């Protein structure tokens, strides 16, 4: 299969970037883009551009990019296969021969060879001159990375729901969607209600959240000092992965987790095992209904609101506002749409992931800021984030003098 894209003029300096205003009028710019695209669509132009020395490298680059989009599912399945046979851990201490790997991986020789060659091709592994295999640039970060490994395995459910993307977009997926089943609280007011979900029913997704929480936790801890705060309310805090790390760094903090009753039960069990019950307490309830625990001088929403639709988020933010002391802070952290350099993460990946879940959507920083302001918060600012792909972080405050 060969993919060719005549793309010799798409890199002109006035190529529009999402959200940018073209230097000329919109009508002239759009007319140019239409002309350019019609030219690129011409098979005759594609053949010429692929052979012309000054455009050939652009065509090859764009052809490779388009092929990667088309083949992305295959690459992800190669990654999943590597995770399932534990190949990154096997190579953590250094390169091994195929014969050594064969002793530890339950695959036929031909299947292992094909997997190893594929993993090398997508830079998960490298192959030495002596024929031994070692970790590649993309495989090395996976060693011991429980968060990413769990997410890779979890994507099996996601891919099941993506078998027919148009059916997913129409909302007519037959039977129970795998993702909606995995995240049972998304059922909303349907039976069983979120509050009635047992600890056993919420255990799988709570475990995944606890394992993947460090991806966002590190960003928040590095971006904001909790030294001046005394009482933190972590809404939707799961089993306490975030606050248990926080109280080790800030001994003055008392933390309250508020989550579904089944999740709170798991959280208190986990907290007791850590010996932190004198610092952390988990309470159960529904943060869309009734009041949240009061008295905190800071609240956190870590990867919470993008799971829910706008009306629910508006209710939640207002409930958080009412629960906080005057002058208290709110930290909201999650992957956001429109993140510079990570646009595909927002509208493409999370756009479809949240659709498969059954509710929620990725939002831009501006959209979330507007919702915070509508709830009554002020002084909304974006905190620095080392890896915005993991999360962008907003800080805001409840006014000292406000009307609830």
Helix (H) or strand (E) holding 159: helix 146-161
CA 258-151-156 angle, 5° bins = 115
Range 278-314 burial, b when 16+ CB lie within 10 A, else e? ebbbbebbebeeeebbeebbbbbbbbbbbbbeeebbe
Question: Strand pairing partners for 156?
Answer: none
Could you tell me which residue, 172 or 69, shows the higher pLDDT? 69
pLDDT above 90 as % of the chain: 54
Could you tell me which residue, 157 or 228, shows the higher pLDDT? 228
Could you tell me which residue, 205 or 49, shows the higher pLDDT? 49
Could you tell me which residue, 305 or 61, shows the higher pLDDT? 305
The CATH classification number of 26-141 equals 1.10.10.10
Q: Write out the two tokens for 28.
A: 């002239």
* Average pLDDT of the residues of the chain: 86
pLDDT in tens, 41-56: 788 887 887 788 888 8
pLDDT at 265 over 50: yes
pLDDT in tens, 117-168: 999 999 999 999 999 999 999 999 999 988 889 999 989 888 988 888 998 8
- Mean pLDDT for the stretch of residues 325-334: 96
pLDDT above 70 as % of the chain: 86
3-class secondary structure, 22? coil
With tokens 């989550």, the residue in question is 259
Lowest mean pLDDT segment, chosen from 20-34, 69-83, 264-278, 300-314: 20-34
Helix (H) or strand (E) holding 314: helix 310-323
Helix (H) or strand (E) holding 381: strand 378-383
Sheet holding 392-397, edge to edge: 280-284, 254-259, 231-235, 298-302, 329-334, 392-397, 378-383
Segments making up each domain of the chain, as ranges: 26-141, 180-397
Q: Which of 143, 171, 176 is nearest to 157 (CA)?
A: 176
Question: Strand pairing partners for 126?
Answer: 134
pLDDT at 32 over 70: yes
CA 212-18-151 angle, 5° bins = 15
Q: What is the pLDDT of residue 277?
A: 94
pLDDT in tens, 277-312: 999 999 999 988 888 999 999 999 999 999 899 999
Q: Tell me the pTM.
A: 0.79
pLDDT at 7 over 70: no
Q: Which of 381, 358, 359 is nearest to 368 (CA)?
A: 381
Q: What is the pLDDT of residue 320?
A: 97
Query: Residues 392, 339: contact at Cβ < 8 Å?
Result: yes
Tell me how far apart the alpha carbons of residues 271 and 257 are, in angstroms, rounded to a whole number.
11
Q: What is the pLDDT of residue 382?
A: 96
Tell me how far apart the alpha carbons of residues 102 and 313 are, in angstroms, rounded to a whole number.
51
- Mean pLDDT for the stretch of residues 250-261: 95
3-class secondary structure, 281? strand
pLDDT in tens, 334-375: 999 999 888 888 889 999 988 888 888 999 999 999 999 999
Gyration radius (Cα) of the chain, Å: 25
The CATH classification number of 180-397 equals 3.40.50.150
With tokens 């680059």, the residue in question is 61
3-class SS string, 210-235: HHHCHHHHHHHHHHCCCCCCCEEEEE
pLDDT at 58 over 90: no
Q: What is the pLDDT of residue 41?
A: 78
Cα 230 to Cα 207, 298, 316, distances in angstroms: 28, 8, 23
Lowest mean pLDDT segment, chosen from 8-12, 73-77, 108-112, 260-264: 8-12
- Mean pLDDT for the stretch of residues 109-116: 97
């Amino acid at each position: 299969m060969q993919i060719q894209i005549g793309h010799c003029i798409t890199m002109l300096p006035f190529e529009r970037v999402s959200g940018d205003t073209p230097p000329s009028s919109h009508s002239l710019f759009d007319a140019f883009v239409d002309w350019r695209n019609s030219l690129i669509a011409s098979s005759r132009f594609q053949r010429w551009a692929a052979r012309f020395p000054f455009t050939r490298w652009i065509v090859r680059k764009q052809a490779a990019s388009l092929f990667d989009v088309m083949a992305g599912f295959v690459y992800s399945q190669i990654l999943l296969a590597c995770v399932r046979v534990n190949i990154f851990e096997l190579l953590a201490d250094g390169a091994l021969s195929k014969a050594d790997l064969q002793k530890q991986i339950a695959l036929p020789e031909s299947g292992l060879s094909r997997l190893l060659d594929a993993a090398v091709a997508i830079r998960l592994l490298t192959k030495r001159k002596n024929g031994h295999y070692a970790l590649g640039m993309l495989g090395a970060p996976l060693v011991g990375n429980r968060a990413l490994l769990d997410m890779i395995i979890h994507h099996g459910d996601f891919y099941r729901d993506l078998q027919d993307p148009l059916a997913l977009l129409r909302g007519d997926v037959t039977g129970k969607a795998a993702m909606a089943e995995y995240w049972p609280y998304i059922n909303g007011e349907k039976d069983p209600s979120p509050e009635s979900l047992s600890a056993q029913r919420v255990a799988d997704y709570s475990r995944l959240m606890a394992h993947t929480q460090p991806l966002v936790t590190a960003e928040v801890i590095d971006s904001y000092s909790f030294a001046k705060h005394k009482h933190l309310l972590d809404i939707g805090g799961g089993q306490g992965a975030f606050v248990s790390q926080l109280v080790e760094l800030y001994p003055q903090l008392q933390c309250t987790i508020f989550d579904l009753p089944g999740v709170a039960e798991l959280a208190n069990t986990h907290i007791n095992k850590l010996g932190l019950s004198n610092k952390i307490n988990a309470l159960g309830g529904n943060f869309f209904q009734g009041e949240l625990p009061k008295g905190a001088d800071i609240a956190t929403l870590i990867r919470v609101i993008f799971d829910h639709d706008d009306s629910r988020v508006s209710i939640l933010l207002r409930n958080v506002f009412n629960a906080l002391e005057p002058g208290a802070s709110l930290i909201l952290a999650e992957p956001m749409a429109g993140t510079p350099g990570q646009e595909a993460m927002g509208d493409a990946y999370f756009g479809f992931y949240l659709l498969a879940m059954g509710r929620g959507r990725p939002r831009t920083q501006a959209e979330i800021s507007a919702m915070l302001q509508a709830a009554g918060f002020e002084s909304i600012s974006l905190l620095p984030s080392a890896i915005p792909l993991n999360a962008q972080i907003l800080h805001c405050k409840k006014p000292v003098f406000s009307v609830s």
